[in-house]
Amino acid sequence: MTKNKVSKNTVSIPEEMVEKCLVNGIFHINTLLFLTDNQDRAEKYKIAQPEIDLSFLSRELQIRVIQYVGQYANIPTTFYTSHIQRIVKLLSCLPVTAYKDNISMIHALYETTTDSYFSGTQNAFLAFIIQKDSEKIVSDEDFINYTIQTGLIVPYIAGKITGNEIIAKGFHLTANKKRYGCFMRTDLWGPEIRKIFAITLLHDVRKNRCTIATFRNHYRHINEYADFFSEKARNDPEEMFKELPSLSQCNIKKTYTDNIFDAVFYTLLEVHKEKYGLMETDVWLFSWFDPSRARLNLDLQTKQFNFREIPNAHNKALIKKYCLALIEMSDRTFTTIIEIIGKLINLSKNFSQDFEKFTSKDAEEYLQSISITYQRKRNDDPIALNNYLMLYIDTDLRFFEWMETYKMIQFNPFALAKSQISHKKKPLRKTNITPYLIQQMFENLPALKDRRYILCFLVVFESGMRISEACQLRKKD
């Protein structure tokens, strides 16, 4: 019953009222009680400690302490006296460095281990200081700077400045009883990495990507993840970017890492691209190119072009330029472009030198290695093998044609290889579906109320196209 009464009767103490209660660094509690319409209590009950010396605190901390004590001015006197005594003893437990300013006090409050008797007051006072600081944070830049300075991620502030009321309410610092879950520590990471975490959180909150429970689970483990990174990676985004791919080998709960570090990975990409440019970034997100819906396969889990596996830096730059040309100057789907990149990566792994030195003999040897690999994995059907080789030849032929067009090479090394391989097509195979099943499907088609479904079925059935291909059909097709 008492807890409910406390939460309902808290009062807000403006700074003008604080000035009247504070004289030469001495906090006069009776004055505060009079000013908060508690004159009867001030006269009737004798507060055990009517004056508190706060002269050792900075001015802004004096204001915060008085506001914190004053918000509970309406609770019963016995509890109020105990509450004042706890905050005074808590301050005496903190190091002298904590008395300098709000940021120093925040660091001291979450770093200093106190008796369990003070732990509730410790968390509540920390939440109160952050809550008051949040009133001055009105932009993304303010939020990022606050995260860097304090080493704390505060979802409530992110929700407030992005207009996400669900997150702001769910992580409210003074209304939420589980205050320890309302701010997450990142002090084991350097300032640049804290900035990355802050940008990621803002993006997640703005896009409404996670529930309150997911946020709490993901972000509260950030300090624990620091053990899986080197000292450099904790302070340098570039080093962290390099170490992220091996994170899956770490012994961390996968449900947490999948979301938080996927999101961090995308933020690192954005930062890297902004700093060094597109051509110096080895992973390109689809969203950077504003693709039309027709070029995207919504069932595709991969949302990026990845050039990391290309060993030769010069060849990597060429493949990136070719990829950019396909994106900007053709209407190929992004799925097709990913397949093209995959084949060119395979070519670059088999040829360590620059592509300008690639010859017809190299093309023959490359196709021979592909043939051997294919026959090991599948079968010796010559028609199937030829068709498989033609997929690689067509991709590589077009790539070297592009190089030839821009005067990078004088002769296309795959031109001769294509002429030597006959592209025989397999005879069309009849469907494996029994006539009975086909008859049942067509007999039940008229039962569909929406005729569009019937049309979709007939198009797919007659053409043999995949579902994903059918979904990308346009009127002009």
What pLDDT does residue 190 have?
92
Residue 41's identity, in one-letter code, is R
Question: What secondary structure does DSSP assign to 79-99, as a single string?
Answer: HHHHHHHHHHHHHHHS-GGGG
Tokens of 19: 């000035």
Rg of the Cα atoms in the chain:
33
Sign, Cα dihedral of 391, 392, 397, 402: positive
Q: Which of 335, 333, 307, 336 is nearest to 319 (CA)?
A: 307
Q: Which of 352, 362, 353 is nearest to 396 (CA)?
A: 362
CB 227 within 8 A of CB 243: no
The residues near 221 (Cβ < 8 Å, ≥ 6 apart) are: 252, 253, 256, 260
What pLDDT does residue 39 have?
62
Place of tokens 């706060």: 54
* Greatest extent of the chain over all pairs of C-alpha atoms, in Å: 106
What pLDDT does residue 325 have?
92
What pLDDT does residue 399 have?
93
What pLDDT does residue 249 have?
47
CB 278 within 8 A of CB 284: yes
What pLDDT does residue 315 have?
94
d(C-alpha 402, C-alpha 412), whole Å: 9
Q: Which of 238, 308, 307, 303 is nearest to 276 (CA)?
A: 238
User: C-alpha angle with apex 242: 240 to 244, nearest 5 degrees?
Assistant: 65
Number of C-alpha atoms within 13 angstroms, CB side, residue 165?
Answer: 0
What pLDDT does residue 265 have?
79
Please give the span between the terminal C-alpha atoms of the chain, in angstroms, as a whole number.
70
Please list the pLDDT of the chain residue by residue as tens digits (477 residues). 333 333 445 667 777 888 888 888 888 877 877 777 766 665 555 555 577 888 888 888 888 888 888 777 666 665 667 777 788 888 888 888 888 888 888 888 888 776 666 677 888 888 888 888 888 999 999 999 999 999 888 888 988 899 888 888 888 776 544 544 577 888 889 999 999 889 888 888 887 776 677 676 667 778 877 888 889 989 998 888 877 765 544 444 444 444 567 778 778 888 888 888 999 888 898 888 877 776 777 666 678 898 988 999 999 999 999 999 999 888 888 888 999 999 999 999 988 899 999 998 888 888 888 887 777 666 666 767 777 777 788 888 899 999 999 889 988 888 877 666 655 555 555 666 778 888 888 888 888 888 888 888 888 888 878 777 777 777 776
The CA dihedral of 96, 102, 104, 106, to the nearest 10 degrees, is 110
Q: Which residues pair with 53 in a beta bridge?
A: 26
Q: Which of 118, 122, 125, 216 is nearest to 173 (CA)?
A: 125
Quick one: DSSP state of residue 173? T
Length of the chain: 477
Task: Count CB-CB contacts under 10 A for residue 300.
Answer: 13
Place of tokens 């007999």: 443
The residues near 131 (Cβ < 8 Å, ≥ 6 apart) are: 156, 173, 174
What pLDDT does residue 8 have?
43
What pLDDT does residue 126 have?
86
